[in-house]
Amino acid sequence: MIALSLAEIAAVVGGDLRLAGSSTADTVVDGVVDTDSRNMVPGSVFVAKPGAETDGHRFVGSALAAGAALAIVEHAVDDEITQIIVPDVIVALADLAREVVARVRAAGDLRIVGITGSNGKTTTKNFLARILADEGETVAPINSYNNEVGAPVTMLRVTYDTRFLVSEFGADAPGSIARLAGLVEPDIAVVLMVGMAHAGGFGGIEATAKAKSELVAAARPEGTAVLNIDDSRVAAMGELARSRGMQVVSFGQSTAADVQAHDLEVTASGTSCIIEAAGQSLPLHLRVLGAHHIGNALAAIAAAGVLGVSASDAIARLETVEIAERWRMQPMGSDRVRIINDAYNASPDSMSAALRTLAQITGPGERTVAVLGAMSELGETAGEEHDRIGLLAVRLNIQRIVVVGPEARRLYISAIGEGSWDSEAIFFPDQDAAFDYLRTELRDGDRVLVKSSNSVGLRHLGDRLGELFS
């Protein structure tokens, strides 16, 4: 965080400053701001967030021991630490992020990119951050820091030397993206796709589309919307952007896209294609597995182009990226038994894309194995969407379908109903049982996909398999 006095911070968050030790109102703080006491270093600000399982106020002492200079709290704590008492620490965190970004923006040439979409946010964020890092200091979220805590914490990492802030915006309800993006008013709004991920929490896909459009509505009127022309709901957001005076740059595989890809070829070493941008035809070999990541690459190239980075430079930098993120199409194991651990998140769209990738990268004499868990937050559509994935796995001729956990049992039943038999589809109630089966079932030449929503935790099963067959 930029240097601010304790008095300035208290004024920004509208809190009651209570000094401790040798601190005065003029004492300057410029360290990390976080809700996790384990991330504290000398001079940090600890935000004591109450939670469903634990309360951050219990860890103020740990934060102080690690060097925290200030705690933002909702009630006074006994620890000998300077504290600012506020009604709501999450609101205070947002207020502080808004002020810090505004000061940096006013003092220099900070450009802000906001990214949202039902799938692909983190991958696109990582792609764009890699491209922009060679242009100047770039701040981007760690992992999937895209919620009411993660987004402001990321924003607070900017300094007066930062040239680019890449923010990822998730949503757990209508209005979430509007609130988070409204803190910084991005110069560029990137919308990737509207899918069934989290649709249960929004009341359907049209409500999901409206929620994603909040990013375009929150962007600067003189800014740019970077939109996926292949998704009709996203493409329709161009009308909203133009009504606000924004420029629109499209990406996709359509020949109408400003930045487009064609001649896709998917192999076990990645995906190749030809990129058309700014009148140039340029080859791209993306080492990240899966044709669906080409769309994320196109979005990153398009956004970087708005910021003045040539397509050729963007492509050269993208070709250095080996994995999108841990647990996202992450190759593990060995050439003998290749594990693809993609179990950080799962939606019907990403599950389908991962299964198709598994089928595409498996060669003659090799066997496809899909280890699948439940897709969360689908609401009333959960049953039919799990049915659809079971059918797809069979129709793609996935040779072993290993379903884990009671929430995914309907996927298993659907696969059986579609004609998977003779142990081609098998169900296990938990990860340990699945691991015991797979450790003896997997053989040389197997290509194994592990896929589920984050809450199911199959990523840990993927790690165990990756280590076993490394």
Binding site as annotated, residues: 117-123
Q: Where are the beta strands (DSSP E) in 93-223?
A: 111-116, 138-139, 164-168, 188-191
Name, in order, each residue with C-beta under 8 angstroms of 68's C-beta and a sequence gap of 6 or more.
31, 37, 40, 44, 45, 46, 60, 81
State the number of CA atoms in the 13 A half-sphere of 132 facing the CB. 27
Query: Are the beta carbons of 69 and 27 closer than 8 angstroms?
Result: yes
Query: Are the beta carbons of 179 and 169 closer than 8 angstroms?
Result: no
Nearest-CA neighbor of 346 among 405, 400, 300? 405
Query: Are the beta carbons of 435 and 404 closer than 8 angstroms?
Result: no
How far apart (Å, rounded) are the C-alpha atoms in residues 455 and 140?
24
How far apart (Å, rounded) are the C-alpha atoms in residues 107 and 400?
58
Q: How far is CA 395 from CA 103, 417, 419, in A?
A: 55, 12, 9
Helix, strand, coil percent values for the chain (each to nearest 5): 40, 20, 40
Which residues are annotated as part of the binding site for ATP?
117-123
Query: Are the beta carbons of 453 and 376 closer than 8 angstroms?
Result: yes
Work out the burial of residue 53: count CB atoms within 10 Å of its CB; fewer than 13 is exposed, 13-18 middle, 19 or more buried.
Answer: exposed
CB count, 10 Å around CB of 326? Answer: 11
Query: Are the beta carbons of 314 and 274 closer than 8 angstroms?
Result: no
